[in-house]
Structure 1
């Protein structure tokens, strides 16, 4: 049966929710451009432990936010926690740039991390729960597109705000310059514009119909579903929702969550989270300057190529929006795993042979393009789809917590792996993990395109 969908209504809800992803991307990357200046301002350039803490403190917040997101969303819905995330982004942006004390700088970075943890869990979940099945992949991928736009925006804004720094400029000169006193502050304050917009617009969107149904608010759920696709669509989907939540308690204890089929779902989500991080592409983003300078380029060229990687990431995320509902989640993941692994083989070979130049840059850009088209958007789509209605909030929270834990481990183990095995050995290791990505999805994850969340639940 064909339904007449209100695409303007669906798209507006999805885009407002995806602002959480944009702020996630911006907040995550902005610190990289501010790093050369706040380190000198706070006098930590010779204190590696504090340098690492300044860069990694937001990860602690990410893990905390993702860990508590499940309980909050099951109790209060999807809308209110998104509003809380928006408020935390506002407070973090204002405070990180506003204080001149390193202790408070860290406190506000952690608060921003909590906002990232909440948004990265709830935004794709909300979009999945309000999307018609035939468009869900594309709509959930809007969240990944928003993350990529946020990343690129942070890279460009950092570049535009900071004055050029001549080589061999002393630390004292930098500290007393515009960059050392104010530029790094404005990099964080620029986030206030989208953060305030997100906070205001959250009041416009409705609650998730799946959460309303689970909490016995069927009338409100039917009204929202009717606004999405008309009365017949609302009746059909509401019946499917009712069937999946019938005889299921609203309150599930820990033993129930980690038993039987629920345990199997959660284990799959956690494995996907670790694999999508440990495929290694975030090493290219986190250590981009080192990757490009190792290829024989100077600092200025390296900064240009960093923006290039962000641009490529954006362009191919747009490609993903067009293909995720046509080619399917499973096929994209399988193709991406093999393509990324092959790219790593050649990148590792170039480092092994001590080759430099534009070919290595092209290989890195190709790897980013493959990841942006396949694994990056497909991960968020899959984990928003594969969990049953009764445990989706908690399961997605656990999965996102695992993802941030994996990101933390990846970021902090790369220097060790790189030193022990060499750069070529690192990329060949990540190639092996890409093969594990392929094998796991091939054997354990079915295709989910064009199926309602309730149909996927029955299949799994």
Structure 2
């Protein structure tokens, strides 16, 4: 488009997506350290599988807190400064999780106090994830021109998956060729500490990007807002967008349900279904799933890397198609693929068949998720809500997402003890319900400006 500064848009987007990369890195780093944490802290203290599930999922409590307060912080501090706070939390969590004994405990001696301290640092990182998961897509959505917004917000999901893939390689590289004893005493610590590098980079680069024009307009900093819009879209187009933004900002009270309850309910259900289809079980427990199906430890970590590559490839499919095909078709196709994958894994589990078939259907399931619900849920959450309520509404949707994530992840070990087949079939059923929900309730947002979405909900 005439006057558009594509290079500037890409640079800003890439910096914002580092929040997504850290989201992925922080949530997946636990997969390589899981067994070492179990050996050192859980079995070392004689605790049960519930304590193990709670410790592995503890970052999710922070994610719920971070998601819940993201709206208040994004509205009070701004989108950019909230992301700076997230970067700081990631950095502290990385160093603390890798060395939870710091200041207070004897290194290598498992105690209940040390277990609490480890969980505390994981919760700190989780708050960072909760903030980044809400505010990175919000930031990109508010900066991006309407015709490429889907692609740019979907890049954030690519960054999440890329962060997971990077940490799978980092974990594998740290563990490769080392004894189990070394991994259980030193290796797992290095896995956590490695996150400090991207966290520091994210924090530094954020100083060089602008605040979003929609936030500046909300705060009556009109000259700054127009200046950034002009830099992104060119002078002529910037004035039109700016007038639309000012109209939407001035014409509304900004109370959460002031556009009706349906828009909030759709946001919450998008978030809940994204988790209830079971994706984070596949991500958090991937090496364990492959080991339980007969793979050796090194092989199970390698299969996790294969899954990571599949995730990246199919997220790229979503990025290339989201602004052409639209949001709804991708979500519905993804739901069908996920249902097929999970019901097949459930059936194989009932028959106690272990082998390449299981890996194939896990790949079918994750590929279907990554080309649909993974990125498109975030695209819709960044687009659905009108300007005046976006901060609050995104916070509600993201908090619901992390609460659903915590529920699914922490119940998985106990559900698997009861029945693997039923567990995977439950996720298959959720995939079917997600299809019906999108078909009946979710509006198409392709090509609409954020201000046009406002008129849709007013009707």
How far 1:50 sits from its partner (Å)? 4.2
Match of 1:407 in 2: 405
* Residue 227 in structure 1 maps to residue 228 in structure 2: no
CA distance in 1, matches of 2:383, 2:324: 16
Gaps of 5+ in 2: 106-113
Match of 1:149 in 2: 162
How far 1:41 sits from its partner (Å)? 4.1
Match of 2:47 in 1: 47
Given candidates 439, 448, 451, the residue that maps to 2:445 is 448
CA distance in 2, matches of 1:212, 1:78: 10
Match of 1:349 in 2: 347
| Secondary structure of 2:445 counterpart | coil
How far 1:262 sits from its partner (Å)? 4.2
What CA deviation, in whole Å up to 9, does each residue of 1:170-214 have, x standing for no partner? xxxx2xx3x344322221221111111100111111011111111
CA distance in 2, matches of 1:383, 1:3: 29
TM-score between the two structures when normalised by the length of structure 2: 0.92
CA distance in 2, matches of 1:56, 1:360: 25
* Residue 164 in structure 1 maps to residue 177 in structure 2: yes
* Residue 114 in structure 1 maps to residue 127 in structure 2: yes
Is contact 1:44–1:50 with CA below 8 Å preserved after alignment? no
The farther-off stretch of 38-47 and 112-121 is 38-47
How far 1:289 sits from its partner (Å)? 3.0
Correspondence list, 1:80-91, <5 A:
80-91=81-92
Is contact 2:176–2:298 with CA below 8 Å preserved after alignment? no
Match of 1:61 in 2: 62
What CA deviation, in whole Å up to 9, does each residue of 1:7-44 have, x standing for no partner? 11001111101101111111111122123334444464
The farther-off stretch of 103-112 and 230-239 is 103-112
Match of 1:79 in 2: 80
The farther-off stretch of 14-23 and 437-446 is 437-446
Match of 2:8 in 1: 9
Correspondence list, 1:314-329, <5 A:
314-329=312-327
How far 1:330 sits from its partner (Å)? 0.8
Match of 2:268 in 1: 270
Cα distance 1:333–1:163, how it changes in 2: closer, same or farther (>3 A)?
Answer: closer
How far 1:287 sits from its partner (Å)? 2.5
Correspondence list, 1:95-106, <5 A:
95-100=96-101, 101=105, 102=114, 103-106=116-119
Match of 2:215 in 1: 211
Is contact 2:314–2:370 with CA below 8 Å preserved after alignment? yes
CA distance in 2, matches of 1:97, 1:350: 38
TM-score between the two structures when normalised by the length of structure 1: 0.92
The farther-off stretch of 115-124 and 280-289 is 280-289
Match of 2:433 in 1: 436
Match of 1:396 in 2: 394
What CA deviation, in whole Å up to 9, does each residue of 1:206-241 have, x standing for no partner? 011111111111111110000001111111101111
Match of 2:359 in 1: 361
Gaps of 5+ in 1: none
Is contact 2:54–2:410 with CA below 8 Å preserved after alignment? no
* Residue 459 in structure 1 maps to residue 456 in structure 2: yes
| Secondary structure of 2:407 counterpart | helix
How far 1:329 sits from its partner (Å)? 0.6
The farther-off stretch of 38-47 and 207-216 is 38-47
CA distance in 1, matches of 2:178, 2:195: 24
Match of 1:34 in 2: 33
How far 1:125 sits from its partner (Å)? 0.3
Match of 1:197 in 2: 201
CA distance in 1, matches of 2:60, 2:426: 24
Is contact 1:79–1:206 with CA below 8 Å preserved after alignment? yes
Given candidates 132, 136, 141, the residue that maps to 1:128 is 141
In angstroms, what is the RMSD of aligned CA positions? 1.8
CA distance in 2, matches of 1:121, 1:341: 27
CA distance in 1, matches of 2:42, 2:259: 53
CA distance in 1, matches of 2:36, 2:352: 32
Cα distance 1:134–1:118, how it changes in 2: closer, same or farther (>3 A)?
Answer: same
Is contact 1:337–1:434 with CA below 8 Å preserved after alignment? yes
| Secondary structure of 2:259 counterpart | helix
Cα distance 1:121–1:374, how it changes in 2: closer, same or farther (>3 A)?
Answer: same
Match of 1:20 in 2: 19
How far 1:425 sits from its partner (Å)? 2.0
What CA deviation, in whole Å up to 9, does each residue of 1:40-73 have, x standing for no partner? 4446443135433431221111111111110111
Paired residues, number: 443
Cα distance 1:293–1:124, how it changes in 2: closer, same or farther (>3 A)?
Answer: same
CA distance in 1, matches of 2:291, 2:193: 30
